Amino acid sequence: MTIPTIEYLGVTESAALACSRWVGKGDKDAADEAATTAMRSFLNDMAIDGVICIGEGERDEAPMLYIGEKVGTGVGPKVSIAVDPLEGTNLCSNGTANAISVLAAAVEGQGRLMAAPDCYMEKLVVGRECRGVVDITLSPRININLMAKALGKDVGEVTVGVLDRERHDRLIAQIREAGARVMLISDGDLSVAIAALDPESGVDALMGTGGAPEGVITAAATLCYGGEMQGRLVFSNDDQRERAERMVGGNVDRVMVTTEMAEGHVVFAATGVTDGNLLRGVRFRRGFAITESIVMRSAQGTIRRVETKHLDEELRHPPCN
C-alpha cells in the first residue's frame, strides 16, 4: 500500500508553519519544540504503523520523536521515518537562511534507511551530473576538477557549501587553492546538501563534516535526486565507535555510498522555514500563510516543488510576541 505523497508533505508543512512563528525571536528551543510538537501530532493522525528511526535523539533525552517511538494510528503500512522537525534551530531563531523541516520515510519491504549513530559524518554530496565522478578519498582539488569537467564549467564557477567550523580550515583552504568558490554556512548542512543536488540552486557540492543522522536523511534526498553521496563516520570517542559497530556493523571506517544509507523506495519531503538556497521560507499574508516544499519519491523518480496556501493559519498557530 502506498501512502499518498501529499500526506508526507503535510508533515513537514505543519512543522515549518509551527516553528515559523519563532523565526528571528532568538529562542531556538521554543522553535524546535513547536516544530516537533506539530510534526508529531500530524504523524500520529496518519494511517500508518510508523516508527521513528532517526529523530530528536534517544528516548531518555528526547521527549518527542525519539528513536523507536511509534507514530501513526497503528493501522496501515509499517513505515520507518527519519525526521528533523527543524534543521537549523539557530538559523530559525536568528532568522537566517536555510532552516527547513524535513522527513524521509521507507515502507517496510520496499525501502530502507540506515540506523544512524549519533556521531559526525564526513560528507561529499553532488548532483546527478557528477554521479560516478567524485571520490571522497581523493583530494578536494581532484574532485573539484573532475566536477568542473562533468558540469562543463570553469573551476572558478564551481561552488562548494562548507560548514563554517574550525575543523574545516584546511578543507576550505584546499577548495580555494583549487580555484573554486566556498559558500560558508553557519549551520544546516542538510539543506545545503539538498541544494547541491539541484542543478538550479547555484551550489554544486557539499563537503565537510556534520551530523551523521542528518547524513542519512541527506542520502534519502540524494537517492531521490539521482545524485551521489559518500560518507565516512567520524568518532569522538570509543563509545561512539562501539555504538556504530552495533548499529551499522562491518568496518565502521569505510566509505558509505548513497545506497548503503538509503535504499529502494524512499520518500523525502522538506519545507522551507526561512528563505534558503533551494526553498523559500514561510511567508505570511493577510489571513493566510504560504509554504514552499519539495517532495520526492525514489521509486517513481518524481521531484515535486509545491507551494501551498494555508488559510486562517494565524488561528492554528497564533503569532507569539
Q: Name the residue nearer to ligand VTB (CB basis): 163 or 194.
A: 163
Residue 117 in contact with ligand VTB, rule: CB under 6 A: no
Tell me, residue by residue from 62 to 101, as one string, x for binding to ligand VTB by CB under 6 A and - for no binding. -------------------------x--------------
Q: What angle do CA 4, 5, 6 make, to 5 degrees?
A: 90
CB of residue 76 vs ligand VTB: minimum separation in angstroms? 30
Which of 13, 187, 204, 260 is close enough to bind ligand VTB by CB under 6 A?
187
Name the residue nearer to ligand VTB (CB basis): 100 or 178: 100
In the bound state with ligand VTB, the residue whose beta carbon lies nearer, of 50 and 231, is 231
7 binds ligand VTB (CB under 6 A): no
Phi, psi of 71 (to 5 degrees): -135, 160
Grid coordinates in use for 288? Answer: 493566510
Residue 19 engages ligand VTB in binding (rule: CB under 6 A) = no
Q: Give me the count of residues in the chain.
A: 321
Other CB atoms within a 10 A radius of the CB of residue 62 amount to 15
Q: Which is nearer to ligand VTB, 53 or 163 (CB)?
A: 163
Residue 214 binding ligand VTB, by CB under 6 A: yes
Burial of 95 (0-12, 13-18, 19+ CB in 10 A): middle
| CA dihedral (151, 98, 262, 209) positive or negative | positive
**What string of DSSP letters covers 155-213?**
GGG-EEEEE--GGGHHHHHHHHHHT-EEEEESS-HHHHHHHHHSTTSS--EEEEEEEHH
CA gap 310, 21 in Å, rounded: 14
**Parallel, antiparallel or unpaired: strands 288-297 and 302-311:** antiparallel
Cβ–Cβ < 8 Å for 14, 269: no
Closer CB to ligand VTB, 111 or 161, in the complex? 161
Is residue 56 a contact point for ligand VTB (CB under 6 A)?
no
Binds ligand VTB (CB under 6 A): choice among 188, 208, 231, 276: 188
Q: Does 163 bind ligand VTB (CB under 6 A)?
A: yes
Q: Considering only residues 217-236, where is the footprint of ligand VTB by CB under 6 A?
A: none
Does 165 contact ligand VTB by CB under 6 A?
yes
Closest CA to 208 of 235, 239, 238, 231: 231
Among the residue ranges 53-61, 125-133, 184-192, 281-289, the one whose residues contact ligand VTB (CB under 6 A): 184-192
CB-neighbour burial class of residue 111 (10 A; exposed 0-12, middle 13-18, buried 19+)? buried
- H-type alpha helices, the chain: 5-20, 28-44, 89-94, 140-151, 169-178, 189-197, 212-225, 238-247, 258-261, 313-316
Report in angstroms how near the CB of residue 190 gets to ligand VTB at its nearest.
5
Quick note: the x/- pattern for ligand VTB over 235-274, rule CB under 6 A, is ----------------------------------------
Q: Which stretch binds ligand VTB (CB under 6 A): 56-64, 106-114, 182-190, 311-319?
A: 182-190
Q: Which of 32, 122, 189, 204 binds ligand VTB (CB under 6 A)?
A: 189
Instruction: Please give the single-letter amino acid code of residue 141.
Output: R
CB of 97 to ligand VTB, least distance (A): 12
Q: In whole angstroms, how close is the CB of 162 to ligand VTB at the nearest point?
A: 11
By C-alpha distance, which of 252, 271, 280 is closest to 17? Answer: 271
Q: Which residues bind ligand VTB (CB under 6 A)?
A: 87, 163, 165, 187-190, 210-211, 214
